[in-house]
Amino acid sequence: MSRIEELRVKLFSDGADLEGILEMYAKPWVRGFTTNPTLMRKAGVRDYEAFARTLLEAVPDRPISFEVFAEDEAGMERQALTIATWGANVNVKIPVTNRAGEFLGPLIRRLGEAGVALNVTAILTPEQVKRVAEALAPETAAMVSVFAGRIADTGIDPVPVMREAKRILRERPRAQLLWASPRELLNIFQSDEAGCDIITVAPEILRKLHLVGKDLTGYSLETVEMFHRDAQTAAYRIDTSATTAAGWESKSAAGAVPEDDVGRLGKPPHQMVGGGRGGTNLDRRA
């Protein structure tokens, strides 16, 4: 069994490019989809509802999360109740706070009690997870999206945060912990080890899954070949005539390059004149 097959965490695809979404939908191991207004804007989506309905027609049988974007709580509630009618596989994304930083617990509670499947998003702290857990309706399915990638961007290891979030959510068995904003393929395995239920990943990262288990020695050689191929394709040239005239090839191999030669040719690479911790006087003058 491969490492991918051993994963317990469910892989969702995150994006708003319809072609990329359909590419991921063709893969049975992609279990759902998420998007947001920022991704939709970057993808050139002009009509939010038309795009959402097109996507739901193309993907009728896997969860898809769409986000509210109204300014005020009443507007968010109206949008959430409307979005929830678009399909049985819809999760409505509600931010953990409004733009004033006010916790949206009452809205989360009302929507959950109304039977709206939620995806509470933009969470970064265990304290926020705890408040969300208290607001969730126990009988309604929900996702709790913790932005682990953004946590890591601040220099904090997100794995302990996600483990603590999972512990907090034990009191809400219908709530699934979602690792959001991953930065690399490794995050998939970290999310699995942390006990996350879902990780939502951009297609460009999911396309790297074929690398899992790859032999690193062979991968090293492929990398060397890539550098060489690209340099050849770009037709790069380095004038080495002065080095050749000074006989540096043989002198460097012998481990000695006279300082007079160095002075004539300019400063050579430090490796040729004793690089490393010990170095030479020439290194220390650099």
User: DSSP readout, 150-215?
Assistant: HHHHTT--HHHHHHHHHHHGGG-TTEEEEEES--STHHHHHHHHTT-SEEEE-HHHHTTGGGTT--
pLDDT of residue 283: 43
pLDDT in tens, the chain (286 residues): 467 788 999 999 999 999 999 999 999 999 999 999 999 999 999 999 999 999 999 999 999 999 999 999 999 999 999 999 999 999 999 999 999 999 999 999 999 999 999 999 999 999 999 999 999 999 999 999 999 999 999 999 999 999 999 999 999 999 999 999 999 999 999 999 999 999 999 999 999 999 999 999 999 999 999 999 999 999 999 999 888 877 766 665 565 555 555 555 555 555 544 444 444 444 444 4
pLDDT of residue 258: 58
Give CA–CA dist 77/113, Å, rounded.
Answer: 13
pLDDT of residue 285: 42
pLDDT of residue 2: 62
Using H for helix, E for strand and C for coil, what is the string for 77-93? Answer: HHHHHHHHHHCCCEEEE
pLDDT of residue 4: 79
DSSP run (H or E) holding 20: helix 18-25
Give CA–CA dist 52/35, Å, rounded.
Answer: 10
What residues are annotated to the active site? Answer: 93
Reduced to 3 states (helix: H, G, I; strand: E, B; else coil), residue 99 is coil
pTM, two decimals, is 0.84
Task: For the chain, list the strands marked E by DSSP.
Answer: 10-14, 30-34, 64-67, 90-95, 118-123, 142-147, 175-180, 198-201
pLDDT of residue 286: 41
pLDDT of residue 91: 98
The pair of structure tokens assigned to 127 is 């304290």
Give CA–CA dist 180/100, Å, rounded.
Answer: 22
Give CA–CA dist 93/16, Å, rounded.
Answer: 15
CA distances from 26 to 17, 60, 235 (A): 15, 13, 40
**Structural domains in the chain?**
3-211 (3.20.20.70), 238-285 (no CATH)
Q: Count the residues in the chain.
A: 286
Give CA–CA dist 220/29, Å, rounded.
Answer: 29
